[in-house]
Every structure is written in C-alpha cells, then in structure tokens.
Amino acid sequence: MRKISCLFIAGFLFVACNNDKKSDAPADKQEDKTDTTTQAGTTELKQTPLQVAVKPYEKLLGSFVGPFGTNKITMLITLIAGDSVVGRTIVGGNDRPFRGTFKKEGDFYYFNAKEPGDHKDDGEFNWVMDDTSPDHINGGWKPYAKGRAEKEYQLQRKKFEYRTDVGTWPESSQRLLKPEDVENLMKEELEFMRNEIFARHGYCFSKKHLRQQFEMEEWYVPNTVDIRGFLTDIEKKNIEMIKRYEKYAEEYGDEYGR
C-alpha cells in the first residue's frame, strides 16, 4: 500500500509539472484573446479612452447632404468624443473645417460648431439629431460677416460614391472618346461633358452656373474641392480631347452653324 501511495503522489507531481511547462509556452502559441498587459507589466484595457468615448456615437458619424440656401451642402461629421464634435462642410466651392461641442437631452443631441473664421463665408452651425433617427439633421447656420443672411437646413445621410454609370455622358468616364462622340456638340455641351467627369468624383464647383447644373442631379454629392490624384487615365485623356473641341467650337462655331 505504501508503494502504491508513493507512485500515486509521484504521478500527480509529474502531471502538475507538465501543466506548468505548458503555461510557459511562447505567447504566439497560446490562445489569448484578451491581451491586457502593457510593456510596463501593468494591466489595462487595450481600447483607448478615445475609442471608448467614440463608440456610443458611431451612428451619428457620417456624411449628410441637402439644400443650403441656393446651394447643396455636404456635412461630414468625422469625430465625436467626450462632449466634442469635429468635421467639415463642403459647399459653394469651399471645404471648411469645424469644431464644437454637444450635449444630450433625452433622445436628442444638440450640437454647436464653429468654422475657423479666416474665410469670408465662415460661420457658426447649430443642429439637432434624434438618437432614434440618426440619419437626419435639422439645423441653422449664422455667418460671422455682418449683413449676410442666416440659413436653415435639413440634411439626410448620404455617402459619396464614385460611379461611372451616371450623368448625360457616362462614356467619358468609361472609355476613350472618339471624334464622333464630340465633334457635333456645341461649346456649352462640351463644357458640361468635361465637368461632368469632375462631378462624378464629387468635385464642388466654385462656378455658380456649373454648381447649379450638377446640384439638380440626384447622384451628385459634393465631396471635395481637389480631385488631383482621383482622375483615371481614361478621364484625363478625354478631358484633354474635350478641351480641344471646346476651343474649336468657340473659334469656328459660327462657320459650322453651331
């Protein structure tokens, strides 16, 4: 009996030692789904305080589009953390940043955000969002400049998407144009065809007549005032070709009855 007991104890110690050895295996061989140890050896959550603060408000972030006076505005809310909000607006050929604060009362979030003030069209935004309907914004804008009119706006969530199948001349973003595609168009049509390429990339036009034309299109979402680096090789070549025909149409239009 004494021999059996000794064998049992020895076996138990052997298994225990083996289990200890397993726990010494390299970290990349162990299944550890929640690594909370820092380099200093203290324990803390991997998620940063900023991430913790942002997470409850993720549904309020995004791109919102709608009428803004005689223009179309895109408001991009890029960060909500603590009691702060950060974003930018694109309207009237301008891309302007804003920063501000917000508070929640019941189901509603009340925002106040200001543009820097170093541009003649800068001002202050106030808007409300419903926690139960985060795809809509209702608000107003007050310009810093005296004598300028205040504006109210109602915006809906709408994300910019580059598409080559929209517009009057979608082929100008799909394939290389041929002379027969452009040679019978008038100068105004050629100008529209060329700028339609920019509009597909969300370019916000500073020229009023172009802005008004494209803002009537449902697919158009102002998204940037700088599209360098976004145009495709096909589009670049087509733009150059259209420009040449615009020049011909302007110089010889009367001669050909245009």
If asked whether residues 72 and 148 sit together in one domain, one would say yes
pLDDT at 51 over 60: no
Q: What percentage of the chain exceeds 70 in pLDDT?
A: 76
Same domain (yes/no): 174, 152: no
pLDDT band of 39, cuts 50, 70, 90? very low
Cα(10)–Cα(8) distance, integer angstroms: 5
Residue 28 domain-assigned (yes or no): no
Q: Which of 116, 131, 157 is the last residue of a domain?
A: 157
CA 124 to chain centroid, in Å, comes to 21
Per-residue pLDDT averaged across 214-230, rounded? 93
Residues 6 or more apart whose CB falls under 8 angstroms from that of 91 comprise 68, 71, 72, 73, 74, 204, 222
Which runs of E-coded beta strand occur in the chain?
A: 62-68, 71-81, 84-91, 94-105, 108-114, 123-130, 133-143, 151-157
Question: How many domains, the chain?
Answer: 2
Task: Examine the domain organization and report whether 56 and 149 are in the same domain.
Answer: yes
| Any domain includes 16 | no
pLDDT in tens, 63-117: 999 999 999 999 999 999 999 999 999 999 999 999 999 999 999 999 999 999 9
In a domain, 77, yes or no: yes
The one-character DSSP state at 150 is P
Answer whether 154's CB lies under 8 Å from 138's CB.
yes
- Whether pLDDT at 46 is above 60: no
Cα–Cα dist 222/37, whole Å: 45
User: Is a pLDDT exceeding 90 seen at residue 38?
Assistant: no
Q: Is 2 domain-assigned?
A: no
**One domain, residues 151 and 195:** no
Cβ atoms of residues 138 and 127 within 8 Å:
yes
Check whether residue 142 and residue 64 sit in a common domain: yes
Pull the structure tokens for residue 158. 């709408």
pLDDT value of position 250: 77
Q: Which of 105, 134, 157 is the last residue of a domain?
A: 157
Residue 42 has pLDDT above 80, yes or no: no
Which CA distances in Å does 16 have to 8, 9, 10, 12, 54?
Answer: 12, 11, 10, 6, 46
Task: Give the tens place of pLDDT for each residue, 139-153.
Answer: 999 999 999 999 999
164-214 tens-digit pLDDT: 999 999 999 999 999 999 999 999 999 999 999 999 999 999 999 999 999
The answer to whether residues 65 and 119 belong to one domain is: yes
Residue 26 counted as domain residue: no
218 and 178 housed in the same domain: yes
Boundary-marking domain end, from 129, 157, 185: 157
Could you give the CA distance from residue 148 to residue 141 in angstroms, rounded to a whole number? 11
Q: Which amino acid is at 18?
A: N
Give the pLDDT confidence score for residue 253 in this predicted structure: 60
User: Looking at the domain assignment, is residue 57 inside a domain?
Assistant: yes
Q: Is the pLDDT of residue 52 over 50?
A: no
Identify whether the C-beta of residue 103 lies closer than 8 Å to the C-beta of residue 83.
yes
Residues 151 and 189 in one domain: no
Q: What is the CATH number of the domain that holds 219?
A: 1.20.58.1690
pLDDT at 44 over 70: no
Which residue type occupies 80?
I
Q: Is residue 7 part of a domain?
A: no
Tell me, what CATH number does 101's domain have? 2.40.128.20
Do 153 and 174 fall within a single domain?
Answer: no
DSSP-derived letter for residue 56 is G
Q: Which of 8, 5, 144, 135 is nearest to 75 (CA)?
A: 135
Residue 122, pLDDT > 60, answer yes
Least confident window among 25-34, 120-129, 152-161, 167-176: 25-34
Q: Is residue 140 part of a domain?
A: yes
- Per the structure, the complete domain to which residue 214 belongs is given by 170-252
- Tell me: do 75 and 139 sit in the same domain: yes
Q: Residue 24 — pLDDT band, cuts 50, 70, 90? A: very low
- Please give, one letter per residue, the 3-state secondary structure of 207-221: CHHHHHHHCCCCCCC
